[in-house]
Amino acid sequence: MQHTAGELAHMLKGVVEGNSQVVVNALAKIENASTGSLTFLSNPDYEGYLYTTGASVAIVPTAFQPTQALPSSLVLIRVEDSYAAFAKLLEVASASMALPRTVHPAAVISANAEVHEDVHIGPLVVIEDGAVVGAGCEIHAHVTVGRHVKIGENSTLHSGVRVLANCIIGKNCILQAGAIIGSDGFGFAPQAGDGYTKVPQTGNVILQDNCEIGAATTIDRATLGSTIVGEGVKLDNQIQVAHNCTIGAHTVIAAQTGIAGSTSIGSGCMIGGQVGFAGHLKIADGVKIAAQSGVTTSIKEPNSIWQGTPATPIKDYQKQQIALRNLSRHRLMNRLEQLEKNQRNTRPIA
C-alpha cells in the first residue's frame, strides 16, 4: 500500500491539511507510528499521542481542534468519521494481501464438487461430493467443506474451519480459524430407565451474506429445518449457537456467549461477552444485553437494555445493586453493632 495524502483524502472524501504530496506506505497505531506511516485519532483518550507521533499522516475528525503544537511534519486528513475511514483503509490493505488463485496439490477435491477457477485452495483442504465453492473464495489449509455444502462468492474460510454436510455459507462471509458450522445439535431423549437416546440432527446451518464468525465458534445444525444466522451478523470467538436458533440481521455478539436451542434473537441486537440464553426464548429487535448476564425469559420490548442474572431491565438492575450495597453497608453494620452492644451488656462483672 503506497499512496499520497491527497490520494487518500480523495478516497475517504476528506480534506488535507498540510502537504498533500506526502507518501505513506503503512498503517500504524498512533502510539508507535513512524515516518512513512498513516495513523488515526478517534478516541479522545489518545489525543496526547498525536502531539508526539512519528506518523507522516493522521486521519482526524473534521471538528478536531489541537490543544498543543502538532509535529511540523505531520499532515492531517479531516473526515466526518475517522474510525470508519481508517477501517476502510484496512479493507484496502487487506485486499492487497489476497492469496494467489491456485489449488494446492495436497488438496483433496471430489470430482463431483463444483469449484470455481478463481479461488485459492490451500494444502490439506478436503472438499466433498456435491459441494459448491464460488468465485473469489479463499479456502485456507486444513479446511473441510462437507457434502453438498455451498460457499458463496468472495468468502474466506481460515485454517481449520469445518463446514459440514448441507450447510450454506453466503457471499462475502469470513469464518475465522477453527470455526465449526453444522455439527450435531445437543439432542438426547431421556429413557424410561437410565440413559439417553440420541435424536438425529437432520437439518443444516444457513449463514446469510456478509457474516463473520469468530475463531473456535460453533453453530449447530438444526434438528429439522435450519439454524439461521442473518445477513451481516458478527459473532466473536468461542460462541456456542445451538440447534434451530435464529439470529437476526446485523446483530453482534461478543465472545463466550452461549445460546441454547430454538432461541430467536432479533435484528440489530448487541450482546456482551459471556451472556447465557436459555432455550426457546424470543429476543426483540435492537435489544442490548450487558456482559455476563443470564437471560431466562423472552424479551419483548424492542431496543431495551438488560443486565444481570436473571437479566432485568438495566434501570431495575441498577436499583437492585444500590439496594444491595445499602443493605450490606447499613443494615449489616447496624446489626453487628447491636450484637456487640448486647455482648457488652451481658458480660459478667468481675
Q: Which residue has cell 497505531?
A: 29
pLDDT of residue 340: 82
The Cβ of residue 25 has, within 10 Å, a number of other Cβ atoms equal to 11
pLDDT tens figures, 338-350? 788 887 776 665 5
Please choose, from the candidates 341, 299, 335, the residue with its C-alpha nearest in 3D space to the C-alpha of residue 316: 299
Taking alpha carbons only, the member of 74, 96, 93, 84 closest to residue 30 is: 74
* Gap between the Cα atoms of 245 and 260, Å rounded: 8
Q: What is the pLDDT of residue 328?
A: 61
Q: What is the 3-state secondary structure (H, E, C) of 249-271?
A: CCCEECCCCEECCCCEECCCCEE
Place of cell 503544537: 69
pLDDT at 91: 85
Sign of CA pseudo-dihedral 181, 239, 248, 250: negative
pLDDT (tens digit, 9 = 90+) per residue, 241-285?
999 999 999 999 999 999 999 999 999 999 999 999 999 999 999
Rounding to the nearest 10 degrees, give the CA dihedral for residues 254, 95, 160, 224. 60
pTM of the model: 0.80
pLDDT at position 300 is 97
Q: Which residues of the chain have pLDDT under 50?
A: none
Give the pLDDT of residue 215.
98
The count of other CB atoms within 10 Å of the CB of residue 211 is 25
Q: How many CB atoms lie within 10 A of CB 177?
A: 17
- Which secondary-structure segment (H or E) carries 216? none
The one-character DSSP state at 201 is -
Active site residues: 243
Residues paired with residue 247 on neighbouring β-strands, in sequence order: 229, 265
Angle at 160 between CA 159 and CA 165, to 5 degrees: 125
Is 315 buried (19+), middle (13-18) or exposed (0-12) by CB count in 10 A? exposed
CA atoms within 13 A on the CB side of 222: 19
Kindly give the residue spans of alpha helices, DSSP state H, lying in the chain. 5-12, 47-50, 82-95, 314-326, 332-346
Q: What residues contact 228, with CB distance under 8 A and at least 6 apart?
A: 205, 206, 208, 245, 246, 247
CA distance 69 to 48: 11
What is the DSSP track for 92-156? HHHHTTPPPS-B-TT-EE-TT-EE-SS-EE-TT-EE-TT-EE-TT-EE-TT-EE-TT-EE-TT-E
Residue 107, pLDDT score: 97
